[in-house]
Amino acid sequence: MITKEKEQTTLLLMQKEREQICTYSRKLITSNLTTGTGGNISIFNREKGLMAISPSSIPYFDLTPESIVIMDLEGNVVDGDNKPSVEFAMHAIFYSHRQDVNAVVHTHSNACSVMAALHWDLPAANYLVAMGGGPTIPCSKYATYATKELAHAALEAMGKGYAAFLANHGFISAYPTIDGAFGLADEIERCADIFLRAKSVGEPQIIPDEEIYAMLNAASGYNK
């Protein structure tokens, strides 16, 4: 017979990743990066070859570690009773093609969604655009949500960077860590808001590409 104490110490498959997804899913709401159950989050465990992903249509503040779904990169559910996010293919494609990516955050934040509706790339009107890995945050080609076509469009748009707008949809960040992926989503929303506000009253002055690359090179040296 399993005692209550024993039950409390029994860990789920990818317990840490499940807990992190619960935490950051709630932060999507409290940071105004989505509404309702919009958006999704995943974390990839390269040692296990599995990803933990938020479930479909469950309010974020109702999530528990047991709610989170564990999948392989072929789209098979390995553990969990809930339906995974319908965008699971858009997460898996980054883990399959980018060895530097271990977390993906997809949001429906306001300013980023406006950029996506316009099919605009975000230029460096603010130096923190460089967090995305280059002088702009690109916008993908349009593709229907929850399709493999959207997954490929997101991967193509992002290139070697870490962020992209999803045309007529929202935003996606792909990063080595979940805190980095979430922080990038939060920061690019702010940068997009600054750009749109500046654009509404004048023409934003854009930082030259060479300056952005110089900053990225300096940051790379600093972090070594």
Is residue 87 annotated as a catalytic residue, yes or no? yes
Catalytic residue among 5, 17, 74, 87: 87
Secondary structure of the chain in the HEC alphabet?
CCCHHHHHHCCCCCHHHHHHHHHHHHHHHHCCCCCCCCCEEEEEECCCCEEEECECCCCHHHCCHHHCEEECCCCCEEECCCCECCCHHHHHHHHHHCCCCCEEEEECCHHHHHHHHHCCCEECCCHHHHHHCCCEECECCCCCCCCHHHHHHHHHHHCCCCEEEECCCEEEEEECCHHHHHHHHHHHHHHHHHHHHHHHHCCCCCCCHHHHHHHHHHHHHHHC
Q: Which positions are annotated as active-site residues?
A: 87
